[in-house]
């Protein structure tokens, strides 16, 4: 029985992987849980997959799920969720911007909540001004349009009870809306302060403009889904016990 699966989408992160694994494995070891780490290589063109294979050779708790071509962060996340065998699932970036030291805190909230999503409270340390401002504007617009109250919807450092991921249908770009999608299905989600660090190696896969434009379209879809959500409660089902399929 696996207690915890850590899912990590990876796209051209060769320099970040060794320090990430060193730090992450230490934190997980200290937790004393039966864990697996599922690296999802999203069609990297650098040595990422090879490096993950070398982790696996040294430690059988490492898994590599490799996508044939680059499918995007949501696709990689989805593949990781589907592969995860743990009772609880953590997802984090491969670029060292998330601090593995926050994993125990995220997990501690799962006793009372179905999911815990990171809130990068001291963003100033992690990203430049343009990204911080655009992320603040994006958060405001997202909350307004989707009638949400999430402080930091762009943070993809999260923990879940695995049952909430079953039946979660994602489309490209939807990794940003996972907390909202879960809430729509009746799960309880809490925001938890996490630290955020600068990207030391490699490059961000997004620009300010492409992120803003694409996610605006996604946002309208989320708004529509929320408006059209089937909200009903069955209060009587006379004779239903006779129907078997």
The contact set with ligand UDP (CB under 6 A) reads: 9-11, 13, 42, 70, 72-73, 76, 93-95, 97, 204-206
Scanning the chain, the segments in alpha helix (DSSP H) are 17-31, 48-58, 73-83, 103-108, 129-146, 178-184, 208-227
Residue 9 contact among Mg ion, ligand UDP, none, beta carbon within 5 to 8 Å by kind: ligand UDP
Is 11 or 81 the residue whose CB approaches ligand UDP more closely?
A: 11
Is 157 or 160 the residue whose CB approaches Mg ion more closely?
A: 157
Is 76 or 178 the residue whose CB approaches ligand UDP more closely?
A: 76
Interaction site with Mg ion (CB under 5 A) = 93, 95, 97
Residue 123, token pair as written in the block: 């963003």
- 220 exposure class (CB count in 10 Å sphere: 0-12, 13-18, 19+): exposed
- Judge contact between 86 and 36, C-beta under 8 A: yes
Residue 10 contact among ligand UDP, Mg ion, none, beta carbon within 5 to 8 Å by kind: ligand UDP
Measured from the CB of residue 204, what is the shortest distance to Mg ion in angstroms? 6
Is 44 or 97 the residue whose CB approaches Mg ion more closely?
A: 97
- Cα–Cα dist 175/63, whole Å: 21
Question: Three-class SS of residue 58?
Answer: helix
- Cα–Cα dist 205/213, whole Å: 15
Residue 74 contact among Mg ion, ligand UDP, none, beta carbon within 5 to 8 Å by kind: none
Residue 70 contact among ligand UDP, Mg ion, none, beta carbon within 5 to 8 Å by kind: ligand UDP
- Cα–Cα dist 216/168, whole Å: 21
Residue 42 contact among Mg ion, ligand UDP, none, beta carbon within 5 to 8 Å by kind: ligand UDP
Measured from the CB of residue 9, what is the shortest distance to ligand UDP in angstroms? 3
DSSP classification of residue 126: T
Scanning 48-118, the segments in alpha helix (DSSP H) are 48-58, 73-83, 103-108
Measured from the CB of residue 129, what is the shortest distance to ligand UDP in angstroms? 15
Measured from the CB of residue 216, what is the shortest distance to ligand UDP in angstroms? 16
Measured from the CB of residue 7, what is the shortest distance to Mg ion in angstroms? 15
């Amino acid at each position: 029985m696996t207690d915890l699966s850590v899912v990590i989408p990876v796209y051209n992160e060769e320099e970040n992987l060794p320090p990430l694994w060193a730090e992450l494995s230490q934190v997980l070891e200290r937790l004393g849980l039966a864990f697996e780490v599922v690296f999802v290589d999203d069609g990297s063109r650098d040595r990422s997959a090879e490096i993950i294979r070398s982790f696996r050779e040294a430690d059988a708790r490492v898994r590599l799920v490799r996508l044939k071509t680059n499918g995007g962060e949501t696709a990689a996340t989805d593949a990781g969720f589907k592969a995860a065998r743990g009772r609880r699932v953590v997802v984090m970036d491969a670029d060292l911007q998330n601090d593995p030291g926050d994993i125990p805190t995220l997990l501690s909230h799962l006793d009372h909540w179905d999911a815990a999503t990171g809130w990068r409270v001291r963003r100033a340390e992690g990203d430049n001004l343009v990204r911080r401002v655009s992320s603040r504007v994006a958060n405001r617009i997202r909350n307004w349009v989707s009638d949400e109250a999430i402080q930091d919807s762009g943070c993809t450092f999260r923990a879940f009870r695995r049952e909430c991921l079953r039946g979660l249908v994602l489309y490209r770009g939807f990794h940003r809306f996972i907390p909202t999608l879960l809430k729509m299905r009746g799960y309880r989600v809490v925001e938890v302060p996490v630290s955020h660090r600068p990207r030391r190696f490699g490059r961000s896969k997004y620009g300010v403009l492409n992120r803003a434009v694409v996610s605006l379209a996604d946002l309208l879809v989320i708004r529509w889904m929320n408006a059209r959500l089937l909200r009903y409660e069955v209060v009587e089902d006379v004779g239903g016990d006779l129907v078997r399929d």
